[in-house]
């Protein structure tokens, strides 16, 4: 179980839907016309710009209805190109800023065990990576208890899962910029803070989907050593109480689509792999510092699921393609809550587009909804849940309400009351 089931929170009223909805037609400079409903809402504490209001399941703009006035608007290629790149309509949430993490982090990892959020590794900046763990305590809302990671452990793009005491750490990128992944794996006993080795993966993987399921540590997808080429392989290793019960990883049924940066969840005894992408930045050939260069990326909204049949099935897709969400989720009240991420690159500016929505996947009805918006768009954010509050920390945030491209690597911590 990835995140131990949180304690039930007190009943709270449903958040009201956003009120001011205006429909209009968008004339994109690409030369095609898209119709969407523009939502203008001010959400505390940030004032938001235009958004297209869409039903959560389809990428088709809603027809304008009689009680909404319609006008034409030329897109300048910022946020209102189409549903994939636009912010989706969302109920308002009230955010509270908490104490900032000791360091900013991009592509770090996080695991919650009871009231503690263990926050691992990550880039401080593109040329500097962390090799330690910071711990946030939800009981008194403080950071503390910093301790080191093993020297040989990867510094970003790790696979990670917990059984409630031991944290299993799989592969990941070793070093800054766009260096490749290692095959080395480790396990942390959170009670003694001791680290031990686990058998290495057959080959290194970059940001693979990782989870504990039916007594085995599963690792699948991710990118191959070049960071870019998707890997389809799926391996598992029997583990118990922080120890490997086998010497080697076993091959399992390959995942239908490879690639990094997905959420991987076990809920109701099903293994789920959500969103993610194919392709990523890779090292410039011959660069002594492994300088990152852009490569083609495709972002996905698909949800794959493995159950008793041991055959991958597809569940309903996310409301928009979403990647960089490995540690951006919690499982609360039989719903997955996923915060932020990245979606498809902007078709005109070609820049990365960050995601600011909070998505809910109801595991009973298998329905996706947008339940709110973060104070800003952010990727590789690290999420926890405690006593009715949804928390997020770290990641790389947007340039501002009107520019969804990535800018600052942050360590800030925010929380909001969750109403499911
Ligand atoms: C928005 O753009 C993406 C990428 O070009 C495309 O896949 C998607 O179908 C578009 N959606 C709409 C509603 O046009
Ligand atoms: C979870 O469910 C319980 C019982 O229905 C409810 O009281 C609580 O408010 C819910 N928690 C959240 C975060 O919505």
Q: Give the CA distances from residue 68 to residues 24, 28, 73, in Å, rounded to whole numbers and listed in that order.
A: 8, 21, 15
381 domain residue, yes or no: yes
Q: Which atom of ligand 2 is nearest to the CA of 332?
A: 13
Does ligand 1 have an atom closer than 6 angstroms to the CB of 84? Answer: yes
Ligand 1 center–CA 114 separation, angstroms: 41
Report d(CA 378, CA 398) in Å as an integer.
6
pLDDT at residue 82, rounded to an integer: 64
Q: Which atom of ligand 1 is nearest to the CA of 344?
A: 4
pLDDT at residue 85, rounded to an integer: 78
Ligand 2 center–CA 389 separation, angstroms: 11
Ligand 2 pocket test: which of 8, 10, 371, 391 has the largest number of ligand atoms within 8 Å of its C-beta? 8
Alpha carbon nearest to ligand 2 atom 5, residue: 11
pLDDT at residue 99, rounded to an integer: 98
Report d(CA 319, CA 369) in Å as an integer.
7
Relative to beta strand 132-137, strand 142-148 is antiparallel
- Structural domain span for residue 34: 21-74
Q: What is the pLDDT of residues 32-53, one digit of tens each?
A: 322 222 222 222 222 222 222 2
Does ligand 1 have an atom closer than 6 angstroms to the CB of 344? Answer: yes
Beta carbons of 264 and 211 less than 8 angstroms apart: yes
Phi, psi of 53 (to 5 degrees): -90, 115
pLDDT at residue 308, rounded to an integer: 87
Q: Which atom of ligand 2 is nearest to the CA of 333?
A: 1
pLDDT at residue 26, rounded to an integer: 30
144 & 33 share domain = no
57 & 169 share domain = no
Q: Which atom of ligand 2 is nearest to the CA of 385?
A: 13
Pick the ligand that lies closest to the CA of residue 343: 1
302 domain residue, yes or no: yes
331 domain residue, yes or no: yes
262 & 378 share domain = yes
Q: Which atom of ligand 1 is nearest to the CA of 83?
A: 13
310 & 190 share domain = yes
pLDDT at residue 344, rounded to an integer: 95
Report d(CA 157, CA 206) in Å as an integer.
6
DSSP one-letter string for 187-235: EEETTTTEEEEEPPPSS--BS-EEEEETTEEEEE-BB-TTSSSBP--EE
Counting as low any pLDDT under 50, the low residues of the chain are 1-79
107 & 56 share domain = no
- Residues pairing with 410 in the sheet: 395
CATH assignment at residue 113: 2.120.10.80
pLDDT at residue 73, rounded to an integer: 38
Does ligand 2 have an atom closer than 6 angstroms to the CB of 208? Answer: no
pLDDT at residue 22, rounded to an integer: 29
Ligand 1 center–CA 415 separation, angstroms: 32
Alpha carbon nearest to ligand 2 atom 1, residue: 333
* Number of folded domains that form the chain: 2
Peptide bond into 45 cis (omega under 30): yes
- Cα-Cα-Cα-Cα torsion 129, 135, 140, 141, nearest 10 degrees, comes to 30
């Amino acid at each position: 179980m990835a995140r131990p089931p949180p304690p039930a929170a007190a009943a709270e009223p449903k958040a009201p839907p956003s009120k001011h909805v205006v429909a209009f037609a968008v004339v994109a400079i690409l030369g095609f016309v898209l119709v969407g409903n523009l939502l203008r809402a001010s959400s505390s504490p940030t004032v938001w710009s235009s958004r297209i209001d869409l039903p959560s399941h389809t990428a088709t703009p809603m027809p304008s209805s009689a009680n909404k006035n319609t006008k034409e608007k030329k897109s300048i290629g910022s946020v209102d190109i189409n549903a994939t790149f636009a912010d989706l309509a969302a109920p308002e949430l009230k955010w509270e800023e908490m104490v900032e993490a000791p360091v900013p982090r991009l592509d770090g990892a996080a695991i919650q065990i009871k009231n503690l959020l263990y926050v691992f590794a990550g880039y401080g900046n593109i040329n500097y990576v962390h090799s330690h763990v910071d711990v946030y305590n939800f009981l008194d809302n403080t950071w503390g208890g910093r301790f080191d990671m093993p020297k040989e452990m990867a510094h970003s793009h790790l696979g990670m899962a917990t059984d409630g005491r031991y944290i299993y750490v799989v592969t990941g990128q070793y070093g800054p910029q766009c260096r490749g992944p290692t095959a080395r794996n480790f396990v942390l006993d959170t009670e003694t803070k001791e680290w031990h080795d686990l058998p290495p993966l057959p080959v290194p993987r970059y940001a693979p989907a990782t989870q504990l399921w039916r007594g085995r540590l599963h690792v699948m997808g991710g990118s191959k050593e070049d960071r870019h080429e998707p890997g389809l392989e799926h391996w598992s290793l029997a583990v118990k109480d922080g120890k490997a019960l086998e010497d080697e990883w076993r091959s399992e049924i390959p995942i239908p689509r490879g690639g990094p940066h997905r959420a991987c969840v076990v809920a109701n005894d099903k293994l789920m792999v959500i969103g993610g992408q194919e392709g990523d930045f890779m090292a410039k050939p011959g660069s002594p510092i492994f300088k990152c260069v852009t490569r083609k990326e495709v972002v996905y909204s698909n949800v794959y699921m493995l159950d008793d049949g041991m055959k991958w099935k597809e569940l309903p897709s996310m409301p928009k393609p979403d990647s960089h969400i490995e540690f951006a989720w919690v499982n609360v009240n039989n719903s997955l809550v996923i915060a932020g991420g990245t979606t498809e690159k902007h078709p005109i500016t070609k820049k990365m587009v960050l995601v600011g929505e909070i998505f809910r996947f109801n595991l009973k009805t298998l329905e996706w909804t947008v339940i709110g918006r973060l104070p800003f768009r952010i990727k590789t954010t690290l999420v926890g849940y405690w006593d009715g509050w949804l928390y997020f920390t770290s990641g790389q945030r947007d340039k501002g309400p009107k520019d969804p491209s990535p800018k600052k690597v942050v360590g800030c911590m925010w929380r909001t009351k969750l109403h499911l």
